[in-house]
Amino acid sequence: MSITMSQFLQSHGLLRNPFIEEEAQNDKVFENLVNESGYAFNHQAWDKFFGDPPGRGTSMIFGVKGSGKSALRLALEKNIAHFNREHPERILLINYDNFNSFLESFKRKSDQDRKRESAVTLTDFGLAQHLDAILVCGMEALLAEVNNGNVALDTLEPYQRHELMMLMAFYISGPPDRYNRIMTEMNRRLLPRGLFGRLGGAIKNALVTVLTLGLVPLNRSLFYAGVARSAEREILVRVRNARDVKRVLRSISSGYLKDQDIRRRGWRDEADVRRLFVTKLIDIVLSLGYQQIVVVMDKVDEPSLINGDREKMEAFVWPLWNNRILQLHPNLSFKMLLPRQLYEAVRKASSEKANEARFDKQKIIYPFRWGDKQLYDMMSDRLRICRTDPSQPYPLEHLFDETMPKREILIALDRLRQPRFVLNYLYRLIAETCAQTDQVSDQPIRIQREVFYQVTATIGEDIKQYYQTLGESPE
């Protein structure tokens, strides 16, 4: 009769299985290790990716699935959260990774364009749309900071209040009831008017209406309606009713809005308009006491319109590889965690595209891989942190038969290369050991040599099939 997994773990003083999770988002063991290490990440690329303060400087990592990109991102997020707790000049983190809603809205609105003659493809999703999507994410991140009491809006200058109100009117996401509730509250906080101010405004409007036979209020209403329709028409990555936008815009000075040159048609694909908006956001965020904005781009292979296709990923990402954006402002940084296949696009870029992206100015990390000793130490740390006494080291070789050379274990880890594969491999070794063990003694139950070689012999073919399914190479 075989033994249970819990019996194996208990024989090594383990409170839980260190190898059961393969996704960083759900990995409590990894989270505990990151917390213990002062929110650092045990990889030689960490310092180049990380920046000082956390997130400063644009960098791009190209790695295969399972290489630890998401773990790297989570470590950065935890480090920024810790930094914000300890420092008054905070860092605003913008997560740009939920692409499905942006792409679906873009495709739906583009398909409705009667002047369009060809089908909508990812090559149509340009820099302007990327910046619109980032502004949506940025407004949500800033709104969360406001709701958490981390910012004082009364520190903003009057013109900045109008700018923030306009950006929120254009880019706050969600259904109409949420949008209207948020914008009513933001109007109250950003552009407050006391009782006498409201009364005086009402009297002034009534007098203007009488003296001009209603023409001035009518023109004013038409102007706000025109700006709202323009925003609804030109911003393709989110759905918003023009009536709701108009209601919000009426609280903003018409003179300010006229200076923005946004009532006209045709700015849907103009990156310069969005660059101006992003610059306004940076100015607002710095005035609110932040020192840095960090945009983290991840999961570009996951949207349903891309579904891991290399050419579609390349078409989607290329517009954002633009040095005018990546180096737009010293207080704006991009952290891009990208599939390894996209590095071919960087390597084979034409001179025109390379000059536009200026990859020499971005910190590029490739290849993003692990050595056998790094993987060995990582798994040993996972063992240690799961034990009753996590203060004492517990090397990985303690799981194996005492006659098993450490060199053989390192060779197996070197073949696997990626943390996800190693976790799966060790879990299988333990499971097979439990299946072939029929009694428990006072000594730790160890993985026997025959089990090690049996599982190791099959893992290489499994990895090969895994990469063939993805259309990648493990090299």
Element (H, E) at 233: helix 215-234
Task: Please state, as a whole number, how many other Cβ atoms lie within 10 Å of the Cβ of residue 367.
Answer: 14
For residue 95, list its beta bridge partners.
296
pLDDT digit string (tens) for 33-71? 988 887 777 788 888 898 888 899 999 999 988 888 988
**Measured between alpha carbons, how far is 458 from 461 in angstroms, rounded to an integer?**
6
Which residue in 181, 136, 135 sits closest to 328, CA to CA? Answer: 135
pTM, to two decimals? 0.88
Structure tokens, 235: 């911003």
Local mean pLDDT, 10-residue blocks, the chain (475 residues): 90 95 86 84 85 91 88 91 93 96 92 76 93 97 94 92 96 95 94 56 50 60 91 93 94 88 84 95 96 96 92 95 94 95 91 90 90 93 94 95 94 90 94 89 91 89 69 57
Structure tokens, 467: 């990469």
DSSP 154: G
Structure tokens, 243: 């009536």
What is the predicted pLDDT for the residue at 193?
63
pLDDT digit string (tens) for 173-186? 999 999 999 999 99
**Measured between alpha carbons, how far is 374 from 358 in angstroms, rounded to an integer?**
32
Which residue in 310, 363, 334 sits closest to 472, CA to CA? Answer: 310
What is the predicted pLDDT for the residue at 215?
52
DSSP string, 53-99: TTT-S-EEEEE-TTSSHHHHHHHHHHHHHHHHHH-SSEEEEEEE--H
Q: Which residue has the tokens 């820099």?
A: 127
What is the predicted pLDDT for the residue at 470?
59
Q: Residues 6 or more apart from 395 whose CB is under 8 A from it?
A: 380, 383
Which residue in 298, 301, 354 sits closest to 323, CA to CA? Answer: 354
Q: Residues 6 or more apart from 103 whose CB is under 8 A from it?
A: 122, 125, 303, 304, 305, 306
What is the predicted pLDDT for the residue at 411?
93
Write the CA distances from 322 to 219, 243, 356, 454, integer angstroms: 40, 35, 6, 50
DSSP 447: B
What is the predicted pLDDT for the residue at 205?
53
Task: Please state, as a whole number, how many other Cβ atoms lie within 10 Å of the Cβ of residue 76.
Answer: 24
**248 and 169 Cβ atoms separated by less than 8 Å:** yes
Q: Interhelix angle for 449-470 vs 406-416, to 10°?
A: 10
Structure tokens, 175: 């259904």
Q: Where are the domains of the chain?
A: 5-21+371-470, 44-365
Backbone torsions φ then ψ of 383, nearest 5 degrees: -60, -50
**172 and 179 Cβ atoms separated by less than 8 Å:** yes
Q: Residues 6 or more apart from 254 whose CB is under 8 A from it?
A: 220, 223, 224
Amino acid at 89: E
